[in-house]
Structure formats: C-alpha cells, structure tokens
Amino acid sequence: MYISILFFIIIIFFPYFVYLCNYNLLETSGTIIFLSYSNNIECTWTFNLSTKNYFRHLLLTFRHFDTEYGHDELSIGETIPDVSKYNSKLFRFSGSKLPNPCLIPLRGDILTRSIWIQFISDETTTGSGFIIDYIFLVNQSTTAILKSQELLIDAEIRHPLEYKSQNSHLTYTYPYGTISSPNYPKNYSNNIICRWHLYHRNAFIRLYINNFHTELHYDTLTLHLGQNLNNRAMILYEWSGYDIDNRNLFIRNDNLFLIFNTDNSYNASGFSLKYEVIEKEIYTWNIYEDSGIIHSKYYPKFLRTNIEYTWIIHMNSSNEIKINLIDINLDYDYDYLQIITDTTYPLNIPKSFRLQTINETKLILRTKHSNDDYQYRGFNLTYQKLNQTSIKEKNQLENLPCGKIYSSFNGTIEFHYEIFTSFDCLILIEVDDGQNIFLRFDYLNWDNKENYIDIGLFHDPNQYQIYHISDTLPGTWFIANHSQLWIRFHSSQFSLGISTFRLFYSETIQWSTISSEPYTQILDDNRLFPYRLISLPTNSIYHNLTQAYIWHIKALDDECIKIIFQSFEVVEDRRLCFYVKDLFKTIQICNNEQFPFVYHHIGSCIISIEPEFSWILVKYNIQIEKFKKKWMGALDPETAAGYFHEAEKHENVFRKSDARAEELESELIDEDIEVDSDSDNDSEDDN
C-alpha cells in the first residue's frame, strides 16, 4: 500500500520524473528485448566483456523497431575518455522504420573504449519498443549479411595548383560551382555515400541551397568541419527531409566536407547547391613618409570579406605618432581595425589620439563579415609622425617580438630584454575556426615582482583575460578558440636584471579542453566560525573553465551555511549553473539569476560547477558564511570551564549593577515624596 501511495505521489507531483536503468552485457552474443516501454525513461546497455579479447567488430541486427518519431531515440556510441556521450555517438535512430544492421569496428581495448546503447523517451506517447541481436566478430569477413554502401562520389574541390581530381568523369570548378546529388533532378539511388571536400588554407566557404528533398531522417546531407570525420562535435549541420530554414550559409572555416548518405529503401529528388571558396586576401604596405592618408582598399566602396591588410609606418627617428580616424564602417562582430605600437588599440569610432612608439606603427584590418546585403565602406584616416628618439633606444627594442602576428600552426617566441623602461609588448596568434592552441613556456627568468604576462581570447586585449602569470613558471594549456589569442608582456620601469623566456605554441587536434580530474577542495577543516571564503578567480578576470570544481562544505546538522553568490558571468550569454547538493536534493543557481543570490542550507553540502564540452569563460564571486546555532556543545571541557568562569564574573557585575540601580531608584522615590510634602505645606501657608 505504501509503495502504491508513493508511486501516486511521484506521478501527481513529479510528472517529469525520469526512470534510469543500466545494464552490463558480458557475453559475446545475445539479444536485447525492450518492448512496451514507458514514458520518461533513460536506459543504457554497455558491452563490458570480462577479459581482453581478439574481437575486431560488433554486429547489431535489428529484428523489431518502433518508437515515437523525433522524441524517443536510440543512440549507439563508444566510450571515449573526456568526451560526452552526445559527441561520441555513432548511430541515432527514431521512428518505426527498421534500421539497417550496424557493423561497428572496435578501436583500441574494448575494456576502456566500450560500446554502449542508450534509449531515451519523453513524457508523451510511446511505441512498441525494439529487439536487437548482437554478436562480436573476429573479423568482418565472417558476416555476409551486410551490404556496404557504394562510394559513388569522392571529390576534392581545391585550387588547381594544389590538387587534381582523380574522378575524370566529374568536373567541379574552383572557386565557384554547383554540387548536386546523383541523377538530380531525378531520384538518387539507395545505399550510397557521396563525399565532397572543399579546402583552401585560410579560406571561407559560402553555400546556397537551391533545392533539397530527401527521405526524412534516413537520407542525410552532413556538413562536417575538419579532417576527423569520426568526431561528431565538428558536425556543423545535418539535414534530411525537405524543410531547411537556413539556405544561405557562410562558413568561417577552410576545411569542409559535404557527406550524403542514403539507406537501402525509399529515395527522393535529392539536392542542388552552389558553393564559393573565398580565399584570404593579404596585402602589406610599407610607409616611410612623415605624414599622409591611409584608407582601406576601394574605400568608400565595397569592403571585401576575409582580408588582412597591413600598413607598416616606419618611424625612423620619431617616437610618437598622431592618428586622426576620420571615418570607419565595419561589421563590429566580425571585422576590426587595430593600431599596434608597443601595445594594441582597437578602433571602432572616429577619433584623434597620440601614441608613443619607437620602431614602427602597424595598422591591421581584418574582416570576416558575411552580410552581402549591406556594403561596408571600410575606414579612412590621416597620420603624422612627431618627436625624435635616440638610436640607442631604438636598437635596444627593435629585436623584440612586440606587435607581431604569428600563425597558429606552430612556432617559438623568444624574448630577451634588459632595458630599464616601462612598456607593454603585445603579440597576436591567429587561430583557425574550431582549432585549439597548445602553449608551453620552456623557461621563464625575470623579476617576478615587476613583470607579468596576460593571456586571453579574441582580438581585444582589454577583455576575456584567462591567464595571469607573474611569480610562478606556468605549465601547459590547451586553449580552444575561434578568432585570435593575445599575449601581453608587461615590464615596469623598476624591473631588475634581464628578462628572458621562450614560449612554444602549436595547433593541436585535441578538440576537448576538458580535464578529467576535477578540482576538489574541502572547506572548514576545524576552522573557527563564522568564516568567509571568497572563491577564485577574482579581480574581474575571466577564467577558462576546463575542469569541474567541487567544494565540500563540512557542517553539523545544527550548523547553518549561508552561500552568497555575489556575481556570476559567462561570455557570449551561454547558460551555466552552479549545483548545491546534499543527500536529499540538488538545486541549481544559473547565470540568468538576479545577483546577488543568497541560499541558506543546514548541515553539510557540496557546491560544484562543471564545464561544457568546448571552452567557456566564466567570472564568479562567492561568499560563504557558516554559523553554529548551539555552539557551546562543541567546546572542550577546559574552554567551557573558562567560558563559565568569565560568564560568572560578568554575572556578578550585572548583579552589582542591578543592586546599585535599585538603590538609585529608591533614592529618587524618596526625593519625589519629600518634594510633594513641601509643596503641600506651601499651599497651606498661602491659604
């Protein structure tokens, strides 16, 4: 009866309660039967063979399949360290159509990279379920029931000087052209796969979808970034059916695969699209005149996208320059104009200013805008060199890497400095969209009291700082980015000795920046209370959240914890939450709350925050106060005796004070009686 009542309460008050189930499959063959399933379930089957083996493939054969289309889904994937289930999927099925058999190659050790099957249903409508046979195979040749897809098209669309197509009967022009499914506008064939690879280093790619009609959910066109086609995290779009919202695509990446897959039943007319490869246009102008006019190419007419224009003003003997920005018209989300001297100044509004510089002044214009409906003008400015500098100072600074831009492919930055002046040195590393940067300081030798290094994302050194290095030798990092990485070296005029370091950087194929080891801290290990903790990072510095942070707050059942979330900010309006949990419940405090946010808890609890799959910049400030309601019980006998002795002394003082107060009150009363009697006597005399 109690179980029935509990179930009734769950259904009435928790209609979205999810039932979890997990199964370990230990045999080399068997059948998964899951019929007449319920709503709100999440079940996982994991293939965990008991010992290492020599199997090379896993074959899954569907005998029956019926689920609510688009809402109840079956996913198949493999366990990859530090990668979520969503990004390690191999197959995904929904609906009532019987899927084809799945032959899955086993990569690495099955004990560490196990295959899993996960089924999730929503809160409404169900199907009849599914039946799956599975068997591990020594090699693929032992089964003949799988008919592999025919690779009908495998085309490389590149610059003619870079690549010559192997398919003589197929011609794809560069940089413009048309891609269509086989037989278009007639129906394509079943059980085929077609691949088109568009590539040109540092280029952008534009697609326009003319027509699209395929079998919904089963015949798909996938847009995939990069070379690793097994990484679902790099899938940009995956289309099927006939309703596509966005038919104009602008892709800020130079490496794109279009992959068209069809199953063994049903077909349609397919698709047709136009493509354009927009190569990067790079120009550099060297300027030696003392004054002049600088403007973007073709100003004030059309400003091209994917450009990098650089104007280098050689200062000669001058050490100051006056800039007057007359007009600027850019897409400020994707385009920017910078002036680089010893530091970097982003320009976005017309203004005049003077800058100190010694060697040269650079103006750099980069564009990545995609809007062809609006024609951006670019910019127009005037400059004039001022003042003079000594040859000695110029020779001392000319070999520093300040103001330079490096490609993110790989390289080393050397820094050797022994000048006793104050300056900022900024270096930019260009990063391809979707790539990661590996940073490593090989050595670092300087005055750690007066020098520091800041590292941040994007092209504005005044925002999104994620590392601050001063008195310790840093380790290595993977930094995910999609624009630029800036590195600023600051030296004070009071710096002593020689400053030297060497920084190695390189692109890495590792997509995930997530560390598998969480940062764990236990708060209140026999500390006095109440106490206050201000969590790092502070000082308005953004932090690249690359691992889970867990704080264990120890408290007794009669102790109260007050958690004050003073601030919680996330870059690019992404949603991120802190979790406060105990044995019975979990609450979340997300960055869309009104701050400061105060939460009270009695007894021990855990505060945690976990990163997303890719990089995310956060800035938060948390204060924790802890109070004990009945704190005398926690004192040792000697301390308690001392407390009672002091309390008795205070009690004696209070008693004496009370007695003295009573005496004063009696004296006041007596004085009032005497005054009243004197008043009565005076009245009688008057009469």
Q: Does 183 have pLDDT greater than 80?
A: yes
Instruction: Decide if 12 is inside a domain.
Output: no
Which of 402, 310, 325, 311 is closest to 356 using CA atoms? 402
**Domain ends where: 231, 250, 278?**
278
Q: Which residues contact 148 (CB under 8 A, 6 or more apart)?
A: none
Q: Name the least confident of 113-122, 200-209, 254-263, 491-500.
A: 491-500
Single out the residue of 614, 470, 618 nearest to residue 540, CA to CA: 618
Please check whether residues 179 and 274 belong to one and the same domain: yes
pLDDT at residue 10, rounded to an integer: 39
Q: Determine how β-strand 176-180 pairs with β-strand 281-287.
A: unpaired
Tokens for 166, please give them: 């192997």
Single residue among 592, 608, 632 that ends a domain in this structure: 632
In 10 A of CB 303, how many CB atoms?
Answer: 22
Residue 402: name the closest of 365, 382, 421, 428 by CA.
428
Q: Is residue 223 part of a domain?
A: yes
pLDDT over threshold 50, residue 384: yes
Q: Is the peptide bond before 15 cis (omega within 30 degrees of 0)?
A: no
Considering the domain architecture, whether residues 133 and 189 belong to the same structural domain is answered as no
Token pair recorded at residue 156 = 């490389």
Q: List beta partners, residue 580.
A: 587, 607
The boundaries of the domain holding residue 586 are 519-632
Tokens 């008043």 map to which residue?
679
Statement to judge: residues 129 and 33 lie in one domain: yes
Give the pLDDT score at 16: 45
pLDDT of residue 18: 64
Residue 156 sits in the same domain as residue 232: yes
Tell me if 103 sits within 8 A of 57, measured CB to CB.
yes
Interatomic CA distance for residues 324 and 369, integer angstroms: 25
Per mean pLDDT, which of 302-316, 520-534, 565-579 is the most reliable?
302-316
Q: Are 101 and 65 in contact (CB under 8 A)?
A: no
**How many other CB atoms are found less than 10 A from the CB of residue 553?**
22
Where among 142, 163, 190 does a domain terminate? 142
Distance between first and last Cα of the chain: 96
Task: Report the range of poorest mean pLDDT among 174-178, 245-249, 656-660.
Answer: 656-660
> Which candidate, 430, 404, 410, places its Cα nearest to that of 280?
430
Same-domain status, 156 and 273: yes
- pTM score, whole prediction: 0.49
Residue 201 resides in a domain: yes
User: Is 137 in the same domain as 26?
Assistant: yes
Domain count, the chain: 5
Of 39-53, 115-129, 490-504, which range is least confident? 490-504
Distance CA 557, CA 177 (A): 71
Please check whether residue 502 lies inside any domain of the structure.
yes
Indicate the pairing of strand 484-491 with strand 451-457: antiparallel
* In 365-449, alpha helices (H): 391-397
**Same-domain status, 311 and 245:** no
Is a pLDDT exceeding 90 seen at residue 680? Answer: no
C-alpha dihedral, 224 to 375 to 486 to 308, nearest 10° = 90
Q: Are 96 and 129 in contact (CB under 8 A)?
A: no
* Residue 22 and residue 133 in one domain: yes
> Is 668 domain-assigned?
no
In the structure, what pLDDT confidence band is assigned to residue 43 with cuts at 50, 70 and 90? very high
Question: Is 403 part of any domain?
Answer: no
Please say if the pLDDT value at position 9 is more than 80. Answer: no
In a domain, 684, yes or no: no
Helices assigned H by DSSP within 425-468: none
Q: Considering the chain, what is the average pLDDT of its residues? A: 76
Task: Give the SS3 label for residue 170.
Answer: coil
392 and 478 together in one domain? no
The most confident of the ranges 222-226, 293-297, 545-549 is: 293-297
Q: Over the stretch 555-613, which tens digit does the pLDDT of each residue have? A: 877 778 888 888 888 876 677 889 998 888 888 888 888 888 888 888 888 998 887 65
Q: For the chain, what percent of residues have pLDDT higher than 90?
A: 15
Q: Same domain for 499 and 553?
A: no
For residue 160, is it within any domain? yes
Is residue 34 located within the same domain as residue 75?
A: yes
CATH code of the domain covering residue 431: 2.60.120.290
- Tell how many helices (H) and how many strands (E) occur in the chain: 3, 46
Contact of 467 with 461, CB cutoff 8 Å: no
**One domain, residues 93 and 164:** no
